[in-house]
């Protein structure tokens, strides 16, 4: 299957620079499943002498035989395919004999973690052969894997036999929201935000839902339908990526359900707060949960105002909207289930809209003299989007409305009143940015036309 390739130019450029160097280099490419790692590597290796091997869950001898076949096919060298190799060193030695030393070779081992699971000492074997042979040849060795924690432990951690050998690593994360349009037939703001709310910036999710015409159809037939390719995605992700999937599942459900402070989460799960922190760290390392503090906090690490959010839109949708009513969907009561989740869906869409508004500000920090973008809140107020300058003063504030009604001047007045009532520190050049799904009233547009510090945004995707 040919997967769509989009927005990985930085990663491609990095790998290309490694390839152009003299001698041998090693690179590590990792990140959770569905991010397009394999697509990136196949795109990079086009036109190059390359051996590509994708490991699986087979036993040691089976893996060795499969790697020999991949080498034989890629190098058009049948000897590797007809010989039996009883250890890895024998295979690598035969591989070295048949490959051309003078021409640079790209050797990609994909799903590297499966080899490490089958052969506990595999990274040590690789380290020995790299140090004694491959590091002195003309090769770009790329180790790629999906289980983020294991890939880090086996290739990058200080305790790894391969520690210090890598010439660079690529952690593949979701694409910026502006590239959602590459996977959509229509490009109105509403459609793009809705598609982002379903998939985030995960390339494979966007690809799987691309055939569906609208949000409702994609949700119903592409995610909720038990036969759809994304129906089991949340479970499979946690089962593959973490060693304690049950606890992490409960954490995701609890946070997505609105319990975001460590004390609330611990109370819901009936576990001590210090024990919860360990599991939260696992999810943070996967970049699917993040801790957030008010943007004006001077010492965020020690702040007691920290809250946790599920940062991946698809997982937040699954755990926050679908999972609470999964039994209805499983037993065929789809219409009733969809009716039940409508309020949850609207909250989810509003959350994603706010998230994209903050991303919009991050793309234009210079325009607003901001060094940090986030939210600002306290017990009695909340500002959807805010940025501070280097003096820890608010340089930009914003409000977001995902509503079918046009945003009126009262939203601007309320924002100004909040800043004044709570005596928030502001820059002399404070800017106000209002984001709306459905546009703005004539009164507000007229007001904005007379003030250089008020900006009305109806297209979050205008910045790249």
Domains (range + CATH), the chain:
9-171 (3.40.50.300), 178-332 (1.10.10.10), 356-462 (3.40.1350.10)
CB distance 257 to 324 below 8 Å: yes
* 91-111 pLDDT per residue, tens: 999 999 988 767 899 999 999
Quick one: pLDDT at residue 429? Answer: 94
DSSP H helices, 158-201, are 189-199
* Token pair belonging to 441: 């009233």
Alpha carbon distance 431, 409 (integer Å): 16
Quick one: pLDDT at residue 6? Answer: 60
**pLDDT exceeding 70 applies to what percent of the chain?**
97
Tell me how crowded residue 365 is: count the other CB atoms within 10 A of its CB. 16
Taking the alpha carbons of 59, 63, 66, 72 in that order, is the dihedral positive or negative? negative
Alpha carbon distance 308, 279 (integer Å): 12
Residue 26's φ and ψ, nearest 5 degrees, are: -125, 135
Question: Is the overall model pTM greater than 0.85, yes or no?
Answer: yes
Q: Tally DSSP H helices, then E strands, for the chain.
A: 20, 12
**DSSP-derived 3-state class of residue 28:** strand
* Token pair belonging to 215: 């949000």
DSSP secondary structure letter of residue 67:
H
* 401-440 pLDDT per residue, tens: 999 999 999 999 999 999 999 999 999 999 999 999 999 9
Taking the alpha carbons of 7, 32, 43, 127 in that order, is the dihedral positive or negative? positive
Q: How confident is the model at residue 1 (pLDDT cuts 50, 70, 90)?
A: very low
* 112-144 pLDDT per residue, tens: 999 999 999 999 999 999 999 999 999 999 999
CB distance 45 to 106 below 8 Å: yes
Residue with token string 């250890």: 87
Alpha-carbon 349 to chain mean position? 18
H or E stretch covering 275: helix 273-285
Residue 102: half-sphere exposure toward Cβ, Cα within 13 Å: 0
* Token pair belonging to 386: 């805010």
Quick one: pLDDT at residue 408? Answer: 96
* Token pair belonging to 146: 């999906």
Tell me how crowded residue 190 is: count the other CB atoms within 10 A of its CB. 14
């Amino acid at each position: 299957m040919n997967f769509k390739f989009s927005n990985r130019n930085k990663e491609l450029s990095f790998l290309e620079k490694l390839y152009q160097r003299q001698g041998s280099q090693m690179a590590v490419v990792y990140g959770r499943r569905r991010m397009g790692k394999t697509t990136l590597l196949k795109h990079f290796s086009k036109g190059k002498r390359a051996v590509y091997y994708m490991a699986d869950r087979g036993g040691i001898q089976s893996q060795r035989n499969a790697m020999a076949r991949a080498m034989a096919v890629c190098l058009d060298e049948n000897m590797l395919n007809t010989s039996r190799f009883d250890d890895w060193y024998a295979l690598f030695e035969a591989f070295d004999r048949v490959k051309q030393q003078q021409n640079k070779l790209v050797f990609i081992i994909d799903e590297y973690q499966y080899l490490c699971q089958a052969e506990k000492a595999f990274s040590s074997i690789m380290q020995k052969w790299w140090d004694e042979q491959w590091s002195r040849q003309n090769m770009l060795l790329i180790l790629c894997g999906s289980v983020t924690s294991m890939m880090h432990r086996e290739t990058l951690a200080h305790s790894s036999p391969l520690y210090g050998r890598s010439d660079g690593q690529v952690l593949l994360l979701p694409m910026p929201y502006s590239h959602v349009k590459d996977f959509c037939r229509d490009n109105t703001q509403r459609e793009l935000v809705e598609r982002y709310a379903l998939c985030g910036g995960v390339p494979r999710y966007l690809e799987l839902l691309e055939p569906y015409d609208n949000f409702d159809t994609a949700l119903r037939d592409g995610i909720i339908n038990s036969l759809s390719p994304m129906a089991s995605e949340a479970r499979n992700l946690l089962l593959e990526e973490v060693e304690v999937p049950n606890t992490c599942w409960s954490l995701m459900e609890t946070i997505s359900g609105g319990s975001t402070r460590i004390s609330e989460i611990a109370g819901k799960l009936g576990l001590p707060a210090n024990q919860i922190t360990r599991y939260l760290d696992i999810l943070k390392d996967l970049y699917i949960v993040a801790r957030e503090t008010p943007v004006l906090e001077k010492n965020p690490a020690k702040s007691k105002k920290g809250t946790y959010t599920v940062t991946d839109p698809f997982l937040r949708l699954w755990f926050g909207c679908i999972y609470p009513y999964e039994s209805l969907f499983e037993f065929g009561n789809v219409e009733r289930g969809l009716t039940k989740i409508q309020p949850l869906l609207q909250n989810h869409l509003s959350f994603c809209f706010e998230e994209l508004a903050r991303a919009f500000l991050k793309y234009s920090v210079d325009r607003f003299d901001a060094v940090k973008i986030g939210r600002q809140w306290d017990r009695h107020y909340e500002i959807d989007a805010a940025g501070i300058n280097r003096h820890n003063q608010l340089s930009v504030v914003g409000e977001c409305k995902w509503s079918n009604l046009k945003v009126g001047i009262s939203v601007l007045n309320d924002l100004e009143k909040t800043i004044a009532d709570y005596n928030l520190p502001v820059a002399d050049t404070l800017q106000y940015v209002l984001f709306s799904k459905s546009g703005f009233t004539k009164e507000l547009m007229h007001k904005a036309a007379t003030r250089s510090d008020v900006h009305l945004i109806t297209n979050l995707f205008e910045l790249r």
